[in-house]
Every structure is written in C-alpha cells, then in structure tokens.
Amino acid sequence: MKVLISGAGVAGPVLAHWLRRGGCTPTVVERSPAPRVGGQAIDVRGVALEVVDRMGLLDDLRAAATGMRGMSFVDDDGVEVMRSTEETLTGGVVGGPDVEVLRDDLSALLLRGNEDAVVFGDWITALDEHEQGVRVTFDSGRVEDFDLVVGADGLHSAVRALAFGDESRYLHHLGVYLSVFTTPNFLDLDHWQVFHRTEGRMSGVYSARGNTEARSMLGFESPPLDFDHRDLDQQRKLVADRYEGVGWETGRLLAFMDEAPDFYFDSMSQVRVERWWRGRVALVGDAGYCGSPLSGQSTSAAIVGAYVLAAELKAAAGDHRTAFPRYQEVLRDYVARNQALATDTPGEQATPERLAAAANALELPGW
C-alpha cells in the first residue's frame, strides 16, 4: 500500500517509520527544501516516550535533551526577582521523566532511517479521490496515485485545506502570539533560562546545544491578527512594534531577530476537527488536533497519534474504512485531555500531576 504523508516535522516521520514496519510504502513530501531548522524546545512525555522507545530511539532522545537546570525572572534592569531549580517554563519539572529537546533535533532523530522516503522542496496542490485511491498533483507538476494521503503538515495544513476546507473553520486562537529564533548565547547562560515579563508581553532566552547557542522567544497577548504566514518581514515588524520601548535585553533580542535565519512566528491556536478523516485522507498531529504550545503536549500527541494511526491501519490490513474511525476512537479522550491543559486554566501552566495524568491517558495499541 502506497501512503503519501505531507510534512516531515514530527508526526510525519513517526508515521513513516511505523507504516514501513507494517509493510506499507510511505512517501513523505515536505515543502521546505531541506529539513527545517530552528523552533523552540519541546517536550516528549508519557506514552510518547514509550513510542520513541519502541522505535529504538529513546537513548538518543535522552542524549539530545536540553539539560536545563532551572530558570529566572528578571526586572527591566536585569535584576533577578525569582529563580527556580525545580522547574522551567519550557520543560516543567527539572530532573523528571520527561525529555525536553530542541524541535529540529527531535525531527532529525525521528527521520533517521526514513531519509530515502522524503521528497523535499515540493508540496501537494490538488487531491482527486477515486475508487482505487487518490490522485495527487504536486507543485512541481508531478501527478501520482496513492492509496491513502495523510496530512501531518501542522497548524496551517495544506492537506486539511484541500480535503476539509478553509482553516478558519478549525483554528481556535488562544489569545497569544509567539516568535522563536536562534541567537548567540549572549548572556553566557549555563543550561539556564531567563525571562522578563511586562504587561501582555514576555521575553525569554535559554541556552542550547551545550551552551554554544541560545533560543530566544518573544510572546505577546493579542486578539487575532491578519498577516501573511509566509511574509517573514511583515511578521518581524509585528513583533518589533509590540516590543517598542520594552526594557531588559529586548532591544538586543529584536536586533538578533532581524538577522536570525530560522525566525518563526505564529499564533498559539488549537485545531479542532470533528472528524479526523474524509474518505482516503486523514489528519495526524497538529494538522488534526494541535493543542498549542500552551498545552505542552502537542509534540507528544503528534508522536502518539502517528503511532496509533499506523497501528490501526496494520490491524485493519490497510482498510481505511475500519482503521480511520478506530484511530479517532482510540485517541479521542487522550487528545481532549491534553488540549484541555491549555484551555481549562488560561494563562496558567498545568500542575505537574495534571500534566503527567494527561500525558499517560492512553494505553498504546500493540504492534
């Protein structure tokens, strides 16, 4: 069975791995001309760690961990007003069972062994489902038939737009925008995070890759904004305007932002799709049920969702009419509990106990 997967971030490579082990032939198409770099530190928790372990990658994942020791909050003059060595803003409990890793490091790890299945620099422009499969047209002009198509292409999924309709029907803005980009470790941080908060805005810097660099973030509260998701200059101006006159190191962060090759900006939004499949097309990870960074669980849900989808296709001998509904049935409560981490107490981090309960709220299907 030939399965086309759109997106080589997190869910796509995991799905490709398990489909291949189930006897399918996966192809992953990725719009970026090369593996995407940058992105924030993300967390792998609960049953997602079990999936990574079953892939034989858990030791490598732990080796790539950020190793954060703690965090501080500072005032406008850089004077420390709070510090913790028990938890961090991005990774939760320090020294706990969860693994925090840079997004691009995780994606590279999950792609291991499936590089030959990835086509970079192309993307899906049309889907035409017929009795035997789906005829797919690519931006390159190539046309090919596949048995199934899976959208693993994130918050602004092209597959979802083509098969399910405009994203405005599915995206639910949570009132915050976030930018992330790589900078030098200009504060000489040692596996440490520093944050500055002012009304409706927060800035942060944390060391990365053995303190050889840093990832910086600028986030602000706002109702929905109208901007082009591919116009980085427009996005940089949006951020700069919001941070004009803010103290601490914000001026330096804005200067680094202008030069960063991996600048990222988007809303913190959830994706809520009533049914995660339509005919021979299915959604997985953020494309179908993004929890947003505010949940702390979007990455883990993408890993777990990809595994469950592949497991159900294997159990149904490739019959999507059985596998797709079963996939959602198995995963529905897990997704709901993890999305609720971001919405039940807006603006507050979930307690470690509640986060752990949601992260483990699923018994993985066998393989």
Cα gap 1→231, rounded to integer Å: 38
What are 323-358's pLDDT values in tens digits?
999 999 999 999 999 999 999 877 677 888 999 999
Cα gap 194→202, rounded to integer Å: 11
Q: What percent of the chain has pLDDT over 70?
A: 100
> Mean of the pLDDT values across residues 97-124?
96
Q: Pairing mode, if any, of strands 41-44 and 99-102?
A: antiparallel
Q: Which residues sit opposite 18 in a β-bridge?
A: none
Name the residue type at position 44.
V
Domain membership flag for residue 182: no
Burial of 348 (0-12, 13-18, 19+ CB in 10 A): exposed
Domain membership flag for residue 190: no
**Residue 51 in this model has a pLDDT that exceeds 80:** yes
pTM over 0.85: yes
> Residue 341 has what DSSP assignment?
H
Cα gap 333→225, rounded to integer Å: 31
Which tokens hold the place of 49? 């760690």
Domain membership flag for residue 80: no
- Looking from the CA of 39 toward its CB, the CA atoms found within 13 Å total 19
Q: What percent of the chain has pLDDT over 90?
A: 96
> Mean of the pLDDT values across residues 153-164?
98
Domain membership flag for residue 187: no
Residue 367, pLDDT score: 87
What are 192-208's pLDDT values in tens digits?
999 999 999 999 999 99
Domain membership flag for residue 228: no
Give me the CATH number covering residue 12: 3.50.50.60
Domain membership flag for residue 365: no
Residues spanned by the domain of 289:
2-38+102-171+270-359
Residue 350, pLDDT score: 83
Residue 110, pLDDT score: 97
Residue 163, pLDDT score: 98
Q: How many residues does the chain have?
A: 367
What are 259-275's pLDDT values in tens digits?
999 999 999 999 999 99
Domain membership flag for residue 230: no
What are 287-320's pLDDT values in tens digits?
999 999 999 999 999 999 999 999 999 999 999 9
Which tokens hold the place of 168? 């405005």
Domain membership flag for residue 366: no
Residue 347, pLDDT score: 67
The 3 state secondary structure assigned to 18-61 is: HHHHCCCEEEEEECCCCCCCCCCEEEECCHHHHHHHHCCCHHHH
Q: Give the total number of structural domains in the chain.
A: 1
Cα gap 320→19, rounded to integer Å: 13
For helices 103-111 and 298-315, angle between their N-to-C axes, nearest 10 degrees: 20
Long-range contacts of 207-214 (CB under 8 A, 24+ apart): 208/41, 208/66, 208/102, 208/182, 209/102, 211/185, 212/185, 213/182, 213/183, 213/184, 213/185, 214/182, 214/183, 214/184, 214/185, 214/186, 214/187, 214/189
